[in-house]
Amino acid sequence: MKDVARSAGVSVSTVSNVLNRPDYVSSANRLKVLDAIARLGYVRNNAARQLRVGRTRTVGLVVLNIANPFFIDVIRGVEETLSRVGHSVILCNSDGRPPREESNVEMLGEQQVQGVLISPVDPGSPWLAKLADRGVPVVLLDSRAAGTEQCSVSVDDVLGGRLAASHLLEQGHERLVYVSGPPLLHQVTERREGVLAAMAEAGVPADRLTVIECTELSFGAGCDAGERLLGLRPRPTAVICANDLLALGVLQVMFANGVSVPGDVALVGYDDIDFAAGSAVPLTSVRQPRYELGEVAAKLLLDEVDGAGEHAHRQIVMTPELVVRASSSSAHATWSRSRSSSKRR
Amino acid sequence: MKDVARSAGVSVSTVSNVLNRPDYVSSANRLKVLDAIARLGYVRNNAARQLRVGRTRTVGLVVLNIANPFFIDVIRGVEETLSRVGHSVILCNSDGRPPREESNVEMLGEQQVQGVLISPVDPGSPWLAKLADRGVPVVLLDSRAAGTEQCSVSVDDVLGGRLAASHLLEQGHERLVYVSGPPLLHQVTERREGVLAAMAEAGVPADRLTVIECTELSFGAGCDAGERLLGLRPRPTAVICANDLLALGVLQVMFANGVSVPGDVALVGYDDIDFAAGSAVPLTSVRQPRYELGEVAAKLLLDEVDGAGEHAHRQIVMTPELVVRASSSSAHATWSRSRSSSKRR
DNA sequence: ATGAAAGCGCTAACAG
DNA sequence: CTGTTAGCGCTTTCAT
């Protein structure tokens, strides 16, 4: 900056003004400075700027699993909302592993981010509490704040599970299988609770539910679950998966083994990712407002950051929606190619 | 830091030493300091640290499209390699849009990153040149450096296209369709060149190739391409797609319209993402060493960063591999469920 | 409208 | 082994 100032024949503060408040500077000087910057290839040192100003225009976003298309849309929602107001996003992937999450959060803390959006493995982890104690706004994403002292945006997973199960029960199925993910994830367990609630409502005893647990929410894990499903006796007729990746894996294995979907087995996924509508048998799924989830969370964070003191914490719970396609219902078995509903950007 | 020092009854430099070179400090003092840090909830200000030290432990990674599973594995390769040596990664998504790429790169420059790994929209863009001029190491990812003055890691896309086309020609197909992506992307055009090369080798005239261009490499775009394919006369019998997402979209539309794959149309994708093996009809695809791509690029960058002066730029070109599955070959049409080959991490 | 100068919080000589 | 101290590059009063 000193070099630029010298080369332009002005003082450093004029250079600084050109960068930060161009209208304070005479246009003659502004031009000289801009020219010198271009000539010298000057790039502002953000560390120094931050140090001086005390805060950043950066927020951190920690997602549970970047390989899950669900989060890709959440990320989009966050990024577009924040970049519109000039904030940049540092994206981190905890990969569902608490130690990674901890180091992500720690790194973000040191970067002096304005705030953190996080889909936590465990919303009660000490590192999140510590961050909040330091006064860094934290908004929980796809997770409900325990108290009222924190913002959160989530989707009603119990309802989602109930929608899926009610649908299958209405089709006359009497035994259900729930292909679950890591029980650490409350999303996964709440969806199961929803399934049980629907069964209770329908007067179906809880022991009619078989749970198959997977160690991760991935396509590969779904394939493994599919294999295990094949071994069950009596053969289940209806399967709900904790997410679409699992469901697609299950579907693939059914397909490969000549088990007809929905003829022999009805299948319901969760998230309604793009592939769900496009798989061999279009997948019935519980749609979540993914983009909006990120968008709303980002706006909440902005409000907390800008609205100095004025901010009231809010816990927003969004509503999922069942999208019925061929995989669960003989009525849809003639493919109507209803992909239309999955449009998102 | 001053507070910590006071509270621990030592000087700030001792606190600094505890943080940076714990072995310089007597264990009595170390304990006192650590205790004070915990008590006060002190978090080191990274901006100040950076400013003082002059460099970061951070590198930037800019990918073309985070929604593409191909890049997810590349990201993993980069992150695991770098985090192993204590570097953190700032992940950016250019989304194939040059202006976004420019602002990503600019942001990384201001963050004083140690280096940048980028799968560029256009490897020759001015902002990349500017970065390199400033002395920031830049490694091209999935893109070949034009000269010898820069590191790059890419996969031979011409060869990949040739493998795909040769395979189909060997099956006796005489007309090919190439479902292309944005012509801006050299990967896409080079794969087409490979297809043409294979045709030339086989003595098939170039006008037997029909090109369908898509505006993006996505599942949705593949569906659109599928619709257009259905309208072609004569009906093509063999289709090569610029990537797997396109191919899965095409496959979905074929399926929905009762066109048998591979019976009526043979289909080949590109990337061999996990879904490829797992789709309704397992997809023949050209496998790229995705994880290794990221890994090798990260190592090249580390060498350039650490190996002060000693570093010799390298342009590494990796070799793709054709994975034949049911979608292209009647011989495989009885599903062998050969998912095994898609194992990665 | 412009310039001089005081730090932001930290690290790394250097001296003890 | 510990403390003192001089900046790192920038923004921002405060004078002019």
Tokens of residue A311, six digits: 């901010």
Closest C-alpha to A253, from B344, B244, B262, B280: B280
Domain ranges of chain B: 2-44, 54-154+290-311, 157-288+323-344
CB contact under 8 A, A280 and B280: yes
Do residues B130 and B145 touch, judged by C-beta distance below 8 A?
no
* Residue A46 near chain B (CB below 8 Å): yes
Which nucleotide minimizes the distance between its C1' and the CA of A21? D11
The model's pTM: 0.88
Question: Nucleotides of chain C within 7 Å of a protein C-beta?
Answer: 1-5, 7-13
Residues 6+ apart with CB under 8 A from A30: A18, A22
Q: What is the pLDDT of residue B281?
A: 84
Among A41, A112, A133, the residue with its CB nearest the CB of B47 is A112
Among A47, A91, A337, the residue with its CB nearest the CB of B256 is A337
Q: What is the pLDDT of residue B187?
A: 96
Dist CA A4 CA A26 (whole Å): 17
Question: Nucleotides of chain D within 7 Å of a protein C-beta?
Answer: 1-5, 7-13
Query: Residues 218..237 of B with a Cβ closer than 8 Å to A: which?
Result: 219-220, 223
Query: Given a cut of 50, is residue A343 above it in pLDDT?
Result: no
Task: Using pLDDT thresholds of 50, 70 and 90, give the confidence band for residue A206.
Answer: very high
Do the strands B321-323 and B284-287 form a parallel or antiparallel pair, or are they unpaired?
antiparallel
Tokens of residue A56, six digits: 């950043």
Test the A interface: residue of B3, B42, B49, B50 with most A CBs within 10 Å: B50
Q: Which residue of A has its CA nearest to B87?
A: A107
Residues 6+ apart with CB under 8 A from A111: A56, A58, A60, A90, B46, B47
Residue with tokens 């069964």: A199
CB contact under 8 A, B43 and A252: no
pLDDT tens string B217-275: 999 999 999 999 999 988 899 999 999 999 999 998 998 898 999 999 999 999 999 88
Smallest CA–CA distance, residue A33 to chain B, in Å, is: 19
Q: For the domain A157-288+323-344, what is the CATH code?
A: 3.40.50.2300
Q: What is the pLDDT of residue B334?
A: 42
CB contact under 8 A, B41 and A223: no
CB contact under 8 A, A45 and B51: yes
Dist CA B273 CA B232 (whole Å): 28
Q: Which residue of A has its CA nearest to B252?
A: A278
Q: What is the pLDDT of residue A182?
A: 95
Dist CA A199 CA B325 (whole Å): 41
Dist CA B229 CA B176 (whole Å): 11
- Residue nearest D3 (alpha carbon to C1'): B11
Is CATH 1.10.510.10 what the domain over A2-44 is classified as, yes or no? no
User: The CATH number of A54-154+290-311 is which of 3.40.190.100, 3.30.420.40, 3.40.50.2300, 3.90.1300.10?
Assistant: 3.40.50.2300
Do the strands A238-241 and A176-180 form a parallel or antiparallel pair, or are they unpaired?
parallel
Test the B interface: residue of A279, A338, A341, A343 with most B CBs within 10 Å: A279
Along chain B (345 residues), what's the average pLDDT of each consecutive run of 10 residues?
Answer: 90 90 88 90 88 87 95 95 89 92 89 93 93 91 93 98 97 95 95 98 95 95 96 92 95 89 95 85 94 97 83 95 91 44 35
Average per-residue pLDDT in chain A? 90
The residue among A193 and B47 whose pLDDT is bigger is A193
The residue among A334 and A275 whose pLDDT is bigger is A275
Tokens of residue B284, six digits: 């023949």
Query: Given a cut of 60, is residue A36 above it in pLDDT?
Result: yes
pLDDT tens string A101-134: 998 998 888 888 899 999 999 999 999 998 988 8
pLDDT tens string A54-81: 878 889 999 999 999 999 999 999 999 9
Could you give the percent of chain A with pLDDT greater than 90?
A: 68
Same fold, A54-154+290-311 and A157-288+323-344: yes
CA atoms within 13 A on the CB side of B4: 25
Among A45, A110, A133, the residue with its CB nearest the CB of B112 is A45
Query: Residues 236..265 of A with a Cβ closer than 8 Å to B: which?
Result: 248-249, 252, 255-256
- Residue nearest D5 (alpha carbon to C1'): B13
Smallest CA–CA distance, residue B287 to chain A, in Å, is: 18
- Alpha helices (runs of H) in A21-97, residue ranges in sequence order: 27-40, 46-53, 69-84
Q: What is the pLDDT of residue A331?
A: 64
Q: What is the pLDDT of residue B343?
A: 36
Q: What is the pLDDT of residue B308?
A: 65
